[in-house]
Amino acid sequence: LAATLPLNLARKAWGFQNAAGINCALVFDDGTAASGAAPQNATVYPIAPGAGAGQQGGSDGDPYFKGRVQAYCASALTGNAFVALCER
């Protein structure tokens, strides 16, 4: 698990950027499951990697989804590798 946005009904938008150089996936759910429990009504969305750590890969964002968003990556982030998951 690289990053999480909790359920937030006041969220105006969220965004994600993969600059990890590895495959990542976003998991969307309704945010009602307890921490560590299997998510309810989950959807998994793959995000492509960039050419290497720190290089621009896939990104996504949405002004409508208010549930929990979790970013998972295939391995640990090291060196210049990063993902960004934010909301406003």
Q: What is the pLDDT of residue 39?
A: 84
Rounded Cα distance, 71 and 17, in Å: 10
Rounded Cα distance, 43 and 50, in Å: 23
Write out the chain's pLDDT in tens, 88 residues: 899 999 999 999 999 999 999 999 999 999 888 877 788 889 999 999 999 999 999 999 999 999 999 999 988 888 899 999 999 9
